[in-house]
């Protein structure tokens, strides 16, 4: 029974966006004042989230690098442990750079929609 429901949902899934667009209300259309309220709220939310992320990502990355540097220093010269922490620090640096770049690109994209 569950398999039949899942198969029916898989068959109907390509048509769901079309159905949703067909029954969308005119309230989402642009008003005489400019952007609709839902779009303005979404832009404000994304701006707030990206502002927080621009501060949280470097702080988290710094804390993770500090932790791995401390663990590497306390490893008593074990080369395998030191190599593992070096690799972890490198991964944190790469992840932080990717995260900051993604947030920066998102901020640049959102600035297009600002008045």
pLDDT at res. 34: 65
Whose CA is closest to 104, among 54, 60, 59? 54
Taking only the tens of pLDDT, the chain with its 115 residues reads 878 888 877 887 877 777 777 766 655 555 556 666 767 788 888 889 999 999 999 999 999 999 999 999 998 888 999 999 999 999 999 999 999 999 999 988 888 877 5
Per-residue pLDDT, 72: 93
Task: State the DSSP code for 27.
Answer: G
d(CA 18, CA 30): 20
User: For residue 31, what is the DSSP state?
Assistant: B
What pTM value is reported for the model?
Answer: 0.64
Q: pLDDT at position 28, please?
A: 59
Helix, strand or coil, per DSSP, at residue 49: helix
The pLDDT of residue 24 is: 67
Q: Give one word for 34, left, alpha or beta, with left for phi > 0 and alpha for psi -120 to 50.
A: left
Strands of the chain (E only): list them.
none
Buried b (16+ CB within 10 A) or exposed e, 17-56: eeeeeeeeeeeeeeeeeeeeeeeeeeeeeebeebeebeee
Instruction: Give residue 30's pLDDT.
Output: 53
């Amino acid at each position: 029974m569950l398999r039949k429901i899942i198969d029916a949902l898989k068959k109907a899934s390509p048509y769901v966006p079309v159905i949703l667009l067909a029954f969308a209300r005119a309230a989402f259309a642009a008003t005489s004042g400019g952007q609709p309220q839902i779009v303005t709220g979404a832009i404000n939310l994304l701006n707030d989230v990206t502002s927080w992320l621009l501060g949280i990502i470097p702080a988290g990355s710094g804390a993770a690098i500090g932790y791995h540097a401390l663990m590497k220093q306390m490893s008593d010269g074990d080369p395998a442990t030191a190599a593992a922490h070096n690799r972890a620090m490198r991964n944190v640096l790469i992840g932080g750079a990717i995260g900051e770049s993604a947030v920066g690109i998102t901020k640049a994209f959102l600035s297009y929609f600002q008045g």
